[in-house]
Structure 1
Amino acid sequence: MTIQTAKQRDPAVRAFVTAVDSHDREGFMTLLAPGATMADDGAEHDLADWVDREVFFSRGHLKVDNESDGGRRLIARHRNDAWGEMRTRWSSVVAEVGRIARLETGQA
């Protein structure tokens, strides 16, 4: 069962999924706290470079299947033109100002 984006509990994570699905790179970047970091399968990456390659330049989409931790942990099907579709996990640390300070992803 896919969770509708409008029903996701955490507003920052909901905005993240919306930006990914609408290919809104500028909107996505405004969701990040200064100095935001990310890891993919435990390996640290430059966040802007990674999202360009894995999301925006490869037309990425997320279909959220499950959320936990108040909406900050997701299990989702991530699809892009480079890798096809895979089941992934996403974990977000949201700063006090409602912006994403840390994003971790990997295969679920």
Structure 2
Amino acid sequence: MSIQTDKLSDPAVRAFVTALNAHDRTAFDAALTPDATMSDDGSDRDLGEWVDREIFDSNGHMEIEKESAGGRALVANYRNDTWGEMRTRWSFEVADGKVTRFETGQA
């Protein structure tokens, strides 16, 4: 059973997931601080390059399975045209209503 995006607890995380699933790059960028960082499977990545490749150029989509840590930790089935579908974990750091860092990897 999945959690509807509009039911996610943390507003910044909700904005991030909503923009990702809508393939709205403007809204996605607005959900992040200008100096936001990220990591994938424990390695820091270039955020812009990763987001282009793993989300926007490959039709990324998150289906949220569960949330914890006040909505700042998610388990999701993530799919894109490159890798297909996989169970992933996401954790978010938030300041002033925007995501400052996210970390993802296989769950």
CA distance in 1: counterparts of 2:26 and 2:33, whole angstroms: 14
CA distance in 2: counterparts of 1:101 and 1:87, whole angstroms: 23
CA distance in 2: counterparts of 1:33 and 1:10, whole angstroms: 16
Partner of 1:103: 102
CA distance in 2: counterparts of 1:30 and 1:20, whole angstroms: 11
What count of residue pairs does the alignment treat as equivalent?
Answer: 107
CA distance in 2: counterparts of 1:44 and 1:27, whole angstroms: 23
Q: CA deviation at 1:31?
A: 1.0
Q: CA deviation at 1:26?
A: 1.1
CA distance in 2: counterparts of 1:6 and 1:30, whole angstroms: 17
Partner of 1:5: 5
Partner of 1:40: 40
CA distance in 2: counterparts of 1:106 and 1:19, whole angstroms: 19
Q: Does 1:86 align with 2:98?
A: no
Partner of 2:18: 18
Q: CA deviation at 1:34?
A: 2.4
- RMSD of aligned residue pairs (Cα, Å): 0.6
Partner of 1:74: 74
Partner of 2:51: 51
1:48-104 deviations in Å (ceiling 9; x for gaps): 110110001000000000000010000000000000000000000001x11100010
Flag as ranges the 4+ runs of structure 1 deviating above 6 A.
Answer: none
1:18 maps to amino acid? T
1:84 maps to amino acid? G
CA distance in 2: counterparts of 1:37 and 1:25, whole angstroms: 16
CA distance in 1: counterparts of 2:34 and 2:60, whole angstroms: 24
Stretches of structure 1 lacking an aligned partner (at least 5 in a row) = none
**Percent identical across equivalent pairs?**
62
